[in-house]
C-alpha cells in the first residue's frame, strides 16, 4: 500500500474499532487507542471481558460494535493465531481498512481481506504510521 493511499484512508476515517483493547494503561493497545482518541478519532473498544474502556462502551464483538457504529478502521491487537477470525469478522462489516498491529501476522487473512476489496496493513503500528504520515 502506498503512503498516499494510507494517508487518504486515515484522513477519511472517523471511527476506529480496536479489537483487544486493554483497560490497562500500560498495555500498547491502551496507549495507541488513547493516541487515536486524542487525534479526533472515535475509538470503539472491542473486548468481551470489559464493559467500558477509555470512557467508551466496550463491545463483545465487531458485529456488536458495527450494529451501533459505522466502523472505518479495524485495528487488531490479538495474537497472530487469532487474527484470522478477527479479519473474517471485519470483512463481514466492510471497514475501509483492516490493521494488524506489530507482531500480528496472518498472510492468509490479509489475502482474504484484500480479495474482499479491503486493504489490510499487517505487522505495523498505526500510531507510528500515523505520525510518519504527518497526520
Task: Enter the pTM of the model.
Answer: 0.95
Residues 28-72: tens digit of each pLDDT: 999 999 999 999 999 999 999 999 999 999 999 999 999 999 999
All domains in the chain, ordered by first residue: 3-132 (3.40.50.720)
Three-state SS at 103: coil
How far apart CA 100 and CA 83 sit, in angstroms, is 8
Quote the cell numbers at residue 34.
488513547
C-alpha distances in Å from residue 26, one per residue of 21, 22, 30: 12, 9, 7
Q: Which residues of 56-71 are buried (b: 16+ CB within 10 A; e: fewer)?
A: bebbebbeebbeebeb
Residues 90-128: tens digit of each pLDDT: 999 999 999 999 999 999 999 999 999 999 999 999 999
Amino acid at each position: 500500500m502506498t503512503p498516499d493511499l494510507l494517508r487518504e484512508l486515515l484522513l477519511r476515517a472517523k471511527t476506529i474499532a480496536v479489537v483487544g483493547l486493554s483497560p490497562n494503561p500500560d498495555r500498547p493497545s491502551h496507549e495507541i487507542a488513547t493516541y487515536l482518541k486524542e487525534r479526533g478519532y472515535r475509538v470503539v473498544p472491542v473486548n468481551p471481558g470489559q464493559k467500558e474502556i477509555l470512557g467508551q462502551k466496550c463491545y463483545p464483538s465487531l458485529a456488536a460494535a458495527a450494529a451501533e457504529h459505522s466502523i472505518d478502521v479495524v485495528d487488531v491487537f490479538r495474537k497472530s493465531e487469532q487474527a484470522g477470525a478477527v479479519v473474517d469478522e471485519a470483512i463481514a462489516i466492510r471497514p475501509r481498512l483492516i490493521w494488524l498491529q506489530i507482531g500480528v501476522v496472518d498472510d492468509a487473512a490479509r489475502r482474504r481481506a484484500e480479495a474482499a476489496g479491503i486493504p489490510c496493513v499487517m505487522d505495523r503500528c498505526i500510531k507510528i504510521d500515523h505520525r510518519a504520515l504527518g497526520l
